[in-house]
Amino acid sequence: MHHISVDLLRLPFFELKRNAAPGVDGVTWQDYEADLEHKLLELHARVQRGAYRALPSRRWYLPKPDGRRRPLAVEAVEDKIVQRATVAVLNAIYEEDFLGFSYGFRPKRS
């Protein structure tokens, strides 16, 4: 996790959907944006010292046409930020190991 910096945490925050449903903590994108730098510094400190813990996902059910319900998990804003920052680090590390004809789940490839 030493590759994750405050700047790397800031990028995923601005990539998030601004009107996404809040997670179990009830914090929206706009709530988190208020005093963003202070919150990112605190998040970074928790990640670096190993104190960061993801919150449980909020469960939401979408009705399907056949009457059943489709379960969805809604993560908290901080969880989304840390997940995306971690993906960016792992993509940078492992992209060099992939072969040119490998396309599955890689950025800018189909």
Residue 63: what pLDDT? 95
Are the beta carbons of 85 and 15 closer than 8 angstroms?
A: no
| Counts of helices then strands in the chain (DSSP H, E) | 4, 2
Residue 54: what pLDDT? 95
Average model confidence (pLDDT) across the chain: 90
Residue 78: what pLDDT? 97
Residue 91: what pLDDT? 81
Residue 101: what pLDDT? 61
Are the beta carbons of 73 and 35 closer than 8 angstroms?
A: no
Q: What angle do CA 68, 77, 50 make, to 5 degrees?
A: 115
Q: What is the pLDDT of residues 12-54, one digit of tens each?
A: 999 999 999 999 999 999 999 999 999 999 999 999 999 999 9
| Gap between the terminal Cα atoms of the chain | 28
Q: Which has the higher per-residue pLDDT, 90 or 94? A: 90
pTM for the full predicted model: 0.84
Cα 6 from chain centroid? 14
The domain spans of the chain are 6-97
